[in-house]
């Protein structure tokens, strides 16, 4: 029988405390590769991505990745399943996902090199800001207005919902919040961009896109990849407990997004879109 790995793995370790050593068990965040394959309506097949991820919500991860990279639009996915192709050994079947499309495989130059991603760096060779304008519109200004108190509450609400992090201390989280401050969905992964893909995939598969009245809160820093994925999902506000990169700020300003960093306690930095934050 093929073993399906969970989001955490238990091992035995040696713990040192002063001059004392003892053996005990420890929980680690599971990290395994996931290969994403596309199958067109005419049966054509192609591998488009290999990413290191934490097992769990794999179908959402695949859907979110494809949507975020502009490879598959709304309604373009017919079905998603773990792969049973003959070239995939049984022990790897839960690490290979096949996405069946209603139409043909997109004829994009990006597919000629494949997307090779990792839990640390995101998509290697992602297109620049100017390319995003070909497939993403700026985020509408809209009526969404947030108070500082709304922002200050997000990190604690995110942390309390992180079951995997509580066990391992090694998983990033992405939480989707409503304008009322309610946690709508949360996903965890060894890669912070994977956690965002899982959220976007959940929204895409449940036909909730665009997420124009929602706020994304992520653990760690904010990278270009995270902002790109949030933009593709129509999320106007992105918050993080750590710093953004320079390109993340450029993207936020270019596309009318609000970007908040160093959100800790009752302080934060607003790097873009301060007009959405109402300060008395």
> Could you give the CA distance from residue 122 to residue 85 in angstroms, rounded to a whole number?
27
Q: Reply yes or no on whether 121 is catalytic.
A: yes
| Residue 263, marked binder | yes
Nearest to 158 by CA among 169, 180, 174, 178: 174
21 dihedral zone (left: phi>0; alpha: psi -120 to 50; beta): beta
Q: Which of 159, 188, 163 is closest to 173 using CA atoms? A: 188
Annotated binding residue at 264? Answer: yes
CB atoms within 10 A of CB 141: 11
* 261 assigned binding-site residue: no
Distance CA 280, CA 275 (A): 13
Q: Is 265 annotated as a binding residue?
A: yes
59 is in an annotated binding site: no
Please name which of 119, 171, 160, 172 lies closest in space to residue 8, comparing C-alpha atoms. 171
63 near 85, Cβ under 8 Å? Answer: no
- The one catalytic residue among 121, 136, 239, 268: 121
- For residue 16, the cross-strand partners are 21
Q: Is 276 annotated as a binding residue?
A: no
Reference 171, options 262, 57, 23; nearest CA is 57
Distance in angstroms (rounded) separating the CA atoms of residues 68 and 62 = 10
- The neighbour count for residue 221, using CB atoms within 10 Å, is 17
User: Where in the sequence numbering do the catalytic residues fall?
Assistant: 121
Q: Which residues are annotated as a binding site?
A: 262-267
């Amino acid at each position: 029988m093929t073993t399906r790995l969970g989001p955490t793995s238990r091992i035995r370790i040696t713990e040192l405390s002063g001059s004392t050593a003892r053996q005990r068990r420890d929980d680690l965040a599971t990290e395994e590769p996931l290969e994403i394959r596309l199958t067109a309506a005419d049966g054509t097949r192609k591998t488009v991505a290999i990413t290191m991820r934490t097992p769990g919500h794999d179908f959402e991860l695949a859907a979110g990745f494809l949507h975020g990279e502009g490879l598959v639009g709304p309604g373009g996915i017919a079905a998603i399943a773990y792969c049973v192709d003959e070239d995939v050994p049984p022990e790897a079947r839960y690490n290979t996902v096949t996405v069946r499309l209603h139409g043909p495989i997109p004829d994009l130059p990006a597919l000629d090199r494949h997307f090779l991603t990792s839990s640390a760096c995101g998509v290697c060779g992602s297109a620049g800001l100017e390319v995003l304008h070909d497939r993403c519109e700026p985020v509408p200004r809209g009526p969404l207005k947030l108070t500082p108190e709304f922002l200050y509450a997000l990190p604690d609400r995110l942390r309390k919902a992180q079951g995997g992090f509580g066990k391992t201390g090694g998983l990033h989280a992405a939480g989707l919040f409503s304008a009322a401050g309610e946690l709508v969905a949360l996903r965890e992964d060894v890669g912070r961009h994977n956690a965002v893909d899982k959220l976007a995939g959940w929204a895409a598969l449940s036909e909730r896109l665009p997420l124009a009245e929602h706020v994304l809160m992520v653990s760690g820093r904010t990278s270009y990849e995270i902002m790109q994925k949030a933009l593709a999902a129509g999320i106007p506000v992105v918050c993080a407990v750590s710093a953004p990169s320079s390109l993340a700020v450029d993207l936020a300003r270019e596309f009318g997004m609000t970007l908040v960093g160093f959100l800790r306690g009752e302080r934060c930095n607003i790097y873009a879109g301060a007009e959405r934050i109402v300060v008395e």
